[in-house]
Every structure is written in structure tokens, then in C-alpha cells.
């Protein structure tokens, strides 16, 4: 008998593939970046985001599952189930609309809180690569097990949300790191840590109400933990009890090697 978690993962794979197909078909549409409304989180909703979200709901109906849906576009959509699918239909929307990598579809399944996510999947919409994890069973990229890299002082690579709205602490850590990348796609930046490309990821907005949503990080968070990395808010507090909802925003520090956590959250220089 196939374990239920494997069935869940296979369904997430199909959902990711469905969204990828929609994005390919929409890529050359002349009105693909049209703003068609405001999302449940208060952010503008582009037509592509709305289309990708609609495809997820349609596929859930086709599959006959009763998972509830939490999406940044429609918010919480009750569908009679015990578990909730936490979806960011297009993470890195501006990248996707401009044709610049990376952008992903991010899907996570669990109950109640971030720590209750059991299955996570992130599908890269440019490369076609799929990352996934099931609680307690490791993390994988297209079937290859993921592992963070060991931290080498003076040779670190930091992913960070930069620009004028980043906090001074984030800007300071970026200035102290040997190398920095800012990709505009939180899920992929967290996964860069999980797969050993980067040592860490930082995101903290000057205005806390503009920090990350649980939809941005739920899938990549589970994958990172299963790969052997860790994450917290930038003040060091746990993210495990963050509810599966859109009301709370969180800053994020993610690391592969625990030795890098001190640099991300403390005063040690890279």
C-alpha cells in the first residue's frame, strides 16, 4: 500500500505541473500583467496569479480531495477537509511577468500552523525543477537528496531581500557577507540554502506589515528543515507556531550550517 504522504506528494506534483502549463500558455499573453483586483493579503493581484490560483482549485476538484485552500489571492477557502493546502500560485510574480528567473509555484500541506506542515513542494517555473520533502523523510530535488553546505568563514554566500525597504540589520549583514544574491523569490532563496548553493537567507522589511506571509515560505520551510537546515525570525524566535493564515507577517533568517546562524542573528562577521 502506498503511504498517504506519498499520495499527497504525487498530487502536489500534479498541481505544480498544472500551474506550470498555465504559465507557459499565458507567457505571451499581451495582458498577462494586468492587475485584476486586490488579493486577500492586500497586495495587487495580476491576471497570471489569479489564473494560476484558479487552476489549483480546478485541479483539487478534479482530484476529488477536500483540502482547504489558503492562498494569498483568495485567502482561506474552506472545502470541508481537516488539512489545508498553503499555496503561493506564483512566488516571484514580478520575475515571472518580466521573463526573469526565478519564479515558482509553492505548495504545502498540513494543519493549523507552520510547524504542522508535513509535505512541501516547490516547482521552479523556469527550469522545471521540482523540490519536495515529507516530514521525517529528507528533502529532494528531482529525486536527488538535498544537503546544506558547511559554513566556511570568509567564503559565505548570503541571499537577502535588499533594496531601500530592507532593515539596517539586513543591509549590514549583506555588506559583511563575502557574496550576496537577491533573487526576488523567497521560496527559491530558502531552497538555495537547502541545496547548498547559499549559506543563508535574510528577509526583514522596515515596515513589519510588509514582511513575508506563510504562503511565501511554508513549502520551502519544510524542505529546508528536512534537508538539515534551520530557520527563525530575525530576532531568533521560533516560526513553528505561526498560524496558517494571512494576518501575520514574519521576518526570516534561514541557515544551512548552525554555525552560520550566529552571523545571521548576531554580531559575528562573515
Reported as a single tens digit per residue, the pLDDT across 169-201 is 999 999 999 999 999 999 999 999 999 999 999
Tell me what the mean pLDDT of segment 141-170 comes to. 97
The Cα-based distances of 229 to 11, 88, 199 in angstroms read: 26, 22, 10
243 contacts 237 by C-beta, under 8 angstroms:
no
pLDDT band per the 50, 70, 90 thresholds, residue 27 = low
Read off the pLDDT of residues 118-146 as tens digits, 9 standing for 90 and up: 999 999 999 999 999 999 999 999 999 99
pLDDT band per the 50, 70, 90 thresholds, residue 32 = low
Read off the pLDDT of residues 203-232 as tens digits, 9 standing for 90 and up: 999 999 999 999 999 999 999 999 999 999
**pLDDT, averaged across the chain:** 91
Read off the pLDDT of residues 40-60 as tens digits, 9 standing for 90 and up: 554 544 688 888 999 999 999
Residue 249, pLDDT score:
97
Residue 109: pLDDT over 90: yes
The more confident residue out of 29 and 180 is 180
Residue 28, pLDDT score:
64
**Residues in CB range of 22: below 8 A, 6 or more apart:** 51, 52, 55
Q: Which domains does the chain have, with CATH numbers?
A: 4-145 (3.30.540.10), 157-265 (3.40.190.80)
- Half-sphere exposure of 217 toward its Cβ, with a 13 Å CA cutoff? 33
Nearest partner of 120 among 4, 224, 17, judged by Cα = 224
Instruction: Give the pTM.
Output: 0.92
Residue 44, pLDDT score:
40
Amino acid at each position: 500500500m502506498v503511504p498517504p504522504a506519498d499520495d499527497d506528494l504525487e498530487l502536489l506534483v500534479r498541481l505544480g505541473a498544472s500551474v506550470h502549463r498555465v504559465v507557459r500558455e499565458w507567457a505571451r499573453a499581451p495582458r498577462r500583467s494586468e492587475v485584476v483586483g486586490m488579493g486577500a493579503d492586500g497586495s495587487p493581484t495580476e491576471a497570471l496569479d489569479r489564473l494560476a490560483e484558479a487552476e489549483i482549485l480546478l485541479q483539487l476538484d478534479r482530484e476529488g480531495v477536500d483540502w482547504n485552500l489558503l492562498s494569498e489571492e483568495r485567502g482561506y477557502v474552506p472545502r470541508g477537509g481537516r488539512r489545508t493546502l498553503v499555496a503561493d500560485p506564483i512566488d516571484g510574480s514580478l520575475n515571472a511577468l518580466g521573463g526573469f528567473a526565478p519564479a515558482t509555484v509553492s505548495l504545502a500541506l498540513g494543519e493549523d500552523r507552520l510547524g504542522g506542515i508535513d509535505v512541501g513542494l516547490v516547482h521552479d517555473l523556469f527550469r522545471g525543477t521540482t523540490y519536495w520533502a515529507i516530514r521525517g523523510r529528507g528533502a529532494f530535488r528531482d529525486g536527488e537528496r538535498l544537503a546544506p553546505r558547511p559554513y566556511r568563514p570568509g567564503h559565505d554566500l548570503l541571499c537577502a531581500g535588499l533594496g531601500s525597504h530592507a532593515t539596517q540589520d539586513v543591509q549590514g549583514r549583506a555588506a559583511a557577507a563575502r557574496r550576496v544574491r537577491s533573487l526576488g523569490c523567497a521560496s527559491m532563496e530558502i531552497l538555495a540554502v537547502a541545496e547548498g548553493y547559499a549559506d543563508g537567507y535574510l528577509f526583514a522589511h522596515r515596515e513589519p506589515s510588509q514582511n513575508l506571509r506563510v504562503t511565501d515560505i511554508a513549502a520551502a520551510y519544510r524542505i529546508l528543515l528536512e534537508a538539515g537546515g534551520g530557520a527563525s525570525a530575525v530576532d531568533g524566535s521560533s516560526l513553528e507556531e505561526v498560524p496558517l493564515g494571512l494576518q501575520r507577517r514574519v521576518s526570516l533568517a534561514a541557515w544551512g550550517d548552525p554555525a552560520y546562524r550566529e552571523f545571521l542573528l548576531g554580531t559575528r562577521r562573515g
